[in-house]
Structure 1
Amino acid sequence: MNAQLLVEFVRDQYKTQDFIPLHAPTFAGNEKPYVIETIESTFVSSVGKFVNEFELKMEAFTGTPKAVATVNGTAALHTALYMAGVERGDLVITQALTFVATCNALYHMGAEPIFVDVSLKSLGLCPKALESYLDENATLTENECYHKHTGQRIKAVIPMHTFGHPVELDELVSICSKWNLALIEDAAESLGSFYKGRHTGTLGDYGAVSFNGNKIITTGGGGMVLCGSEESGNHTKHVTTTAKVPHKYEFFHDEPGFNYRMPNINAALGCAQMEVLEQYLKSKRALAEQYASFFDNSEVKFVLEPDYARSNYWLNSIICVDEQQRNEFLETTNSLGVMTRPVWQLMDRLPMFEKALKGSLSNSEFISSRLINLPSSYIAD
């Protein structure tokens, strides 16, 4: 496979000789009138109709009992960890093949990560690797899970639906139930992805979604906590709005809280984006099919959705033959104005997490040295 051929193919899809970004936001609907409405109303911050509307639209689309809008995806994940009872000194199992925000949220909780390998099928946390790690290193004491060697409590598991491809959730739910661990889905990249007909982020205790500028829909900056019950959702909303008790004029806060509420002006963007989400998903699936066809019968492997899932194909990805080929592809495509990117550095290779506990990461290392993300922006009909 020649990188020059890939550049020509991508340019043919986007029908341009200009620079092609990895994933650009698209504003093709009611974004402008909705944002102007918030400005004219003066309710641009945490009070305004669009925040509640955005949450309701998300509940309807994902099927979650309660959605709570936040200022960004990291805040959503931080909130989910807090609501799940993660405390300072706890251990939380996650994948090394993830964006740093997953681990940053743990750091700000005072918790520490344990890195477990990913599945080559989903690119996300591998149930077999998780079960093996727990069998070897964990014990249940009075219905709490503890690490045999450090004595620390293991409180939760955070799988990430990498590039929008759902992990094997039934297996992960079962393992977490057996070991009394909270399951928090990092669904930052998987809005519009479904696991056996259920939306990602809704099978665990909590899910966290991101609406950063490069996501499938954007609010500029923003996130959402998907809550497993209406009761937990109401509490989550209370906590993210400084735990202020409603009153005509008094300021009374009944527990520690976060100032994480999404501003109304951002939610206005989100409401408009939700109106065209299905259109975006259709376009991205069509693009993925074109990529899959292009790489068919090639030594380069296009990453397809798992057979149990329907992915949003947020970012289209390929697995190169080796690291040398990956580097050649990255150098050629980027020098010719077609943005491609490698996967993130594995978390255990970053200075702040290099001493973290971990299992074997052979699959993570394999993917890290070979994966490339391709341009995946929305293409209008």
Structure 2
Amino acid sequence: MNDKIISFIQGLYQTNQPIPLHAPIFNGNEQKYVAETIESTFVSSVGRYVSQFEDKISQYTQANCAVATNSGSAALHTALYLAGVTTNDLVITQALTFVATCNCIAQLGAQPLFIDVSKTSLSLCPEALETYLTDNAFIDGKGQCIHSKTKQKIKAIVPMHSFGHPALLDELTQVCTQWNLTLIEDAAESLGSFYKGKHTGTLGDFAALSFNGNKVITTGGGGMLLTKSSETGHRGKHITTTAKTPHPYEFFHDELGFNYRMPNLNAALGCAQLEQLPTILASKRRIAEQYQNFFSDSDFQFVAEPDYAHSNYWLNAIICPNKKVRDSLLQQTNGANIMTRPVWQLMHKLPMYKSALRDNLKNSLWLEQCLVNLPSSVK
């Protein structure tokens, strides 16, 4: 079967040359806009493309406010900061995620608490979350969610829309309301994905998008903070600009701030990429459909969008029958210069998070052993 998979992927991309997992595509105004930015000399965070990119992302996602940052991690770190996450707090997230999700929590002095994912969404499981909170938390007299054993405040949950597939957001929102938790969407992988007609990143209090080189569209490096409230959005823009107050020439900063603003050069690239987003998304869905058809009568399960969602299919994935089959597939495809990848190593297995609180992570452990990401570049 591995030989058939290799032949199929080579046929899909019509090449025997190395096939990347997800490469950017530049078929539009990228060179033009970047050249204009260089000619203007406004290459840093002051420039028209930054605000233009923010406006266009806000319009596309229907987010109340969008703040461009120099990375997706910066956007998520800012979201957690705005949510009031601080030293010794607990933030619930999934162990099946990219390490940046947990690093942003730890950089604020807080600790991740790992809850299992759903097989339906590959994101944070509402049932597992509710069960864990019922068994291990209580609401104190101030309305705060407290961990029963450690007495730490549980401040927020951070579900990640894994590989672009939207999480079960209604159910997660209900749990957050019941337990007084802030919902922060890690939407780094899900530009162009919709949950029941609403763009991911707009149902939580905050969200973070990523425009890294391997994402659906890229700014080279960059991210976007999305906020439900205009007030928090304006504060987000303020603190990501080192909290500098406006003045013709004086330098005064009125609170702790971060140097997180996206440079104009990157935003120019993003504006050009965003013009192509509908074409990119249509191509990615065609590729996903071809993968799904190929694997339909096999022992491999293609990871399709949930019934409630319209996914961007950022990274196509299959679930192998077992770890032995997974390892064989990874070895042979990479040996044929086809870049396939396993899911990330679960976060609690990394040295800095090995002591983190967690539930049994049953589904996460299964996916870690069986899931493989397939080449997903736009053709």
TM category (shorter chain) comes to: over 0.9
Cα deviation per residue 1:293-332 (whole Å; 9 max; x = unaligned)? 0001211000000000000000000000000000000000
**Counterpart-to-counterpart distance in 2, 1:172 and 1:92:** 14
Residue equivalent to 1:169 = 169
TM-aligned CA deviation for residue 337 of structure 1: 1.1
TM-aligned CA deviation for residue 229 of structure 1: 1.4
SS of match in other structure, 1:298: coil
Residue equivalent to 1:60 = 59
> Is the counterpart of residue 289 in structure 1 residue 295 in structure 2?
no
TM-aligned CA deviation for residue 254 of structure 1: 1.1
TM-aligned CA deviation for residue 173 of structure 1: 0.5
Residue equivalent to 2:10 = 11
Residue equivalent to 1:198 = 198
TM-aligned CA deviation for residue 166 of structure 1: 0.4
Q: List aligned pairs for 1:115-154, cutoff 5 A.
A: 115-141=114-140, 142-154=142-154
> Is the counterpart of residue 306 in structure 1 residue 313 in structure 2?
no
Structure 1: 5+ residue runs without aligned partners? none
TM-aligned CA deviation for residue 157 of structure 1: 0.2
> Could you state the TM-score of these two structures normalised by the residue count of structure 1?
0.99
Cα deviation per residue 1:118-177 (whole Å; 9 max; x = unaligned)? 000110000000000100111101110010000100000000000000010000011001
Number of residue pairs aligned between Structure 1 and Structure 2: 378
SS of match in other structure, 1:358: coil
TM-aligned CA deviation for residue 251 of structure 1: 1.0
| Aligned-pair identity (%) | 62
244-253 or 286-295, which deviates more: 244-253
Q: List aligned pairs for 1:34-73, cutoff 5 A.
A: 34-73=33-72
**Counterpart-to-counterpart distance in 1, 2:262 and 2:132:** 37
> Could you state the TM-score of these two structures normalised by the residue count of structure 2?
0.99
**Counterpart-to-counterpart distance in 1, 2:209 and 2:5:** 31
> Is the counterpart of residue 243 in structure 1 residue 217 in structure 2?
no
**Counterpart-to-counterpart distance in 1, 2:319 and 2:235:** 42
Structure 2: 5+ residue runs without aligned partners? none
**Counterpart-to-counterpart distance in 1, 2:253 and 2:202:** 29
**Counterpart-to-counterpart distance in 1, 2:2 and 2:39:** 50
Residue equivalent to 2:73 = 74
CA RMSD in angstroms comes to 0.5
Residue equivalent to 1:346 = 346
**Counterpart-to-counterpart distance in 2, 1:46 and 1:284:** 31
Residue equivalent to 2:356 = 356
Cα deviation per residue 1:2-28 (whole Å; 9 max; x = unaligned)? 111111111111111111000001111
- Structure 1: 4+ residue segments shifted above 3 A: none
**Counterpart-to-counterpart distance in 2, 1:236 and 1:369:** 39
SS of match in other structure, 1:352: helix
**Counterpart-to-counterpart distance in 1, 2:270 and 2:340:** 27
TM-aligned CA deviation for residue 42 of structure 1: 0.6
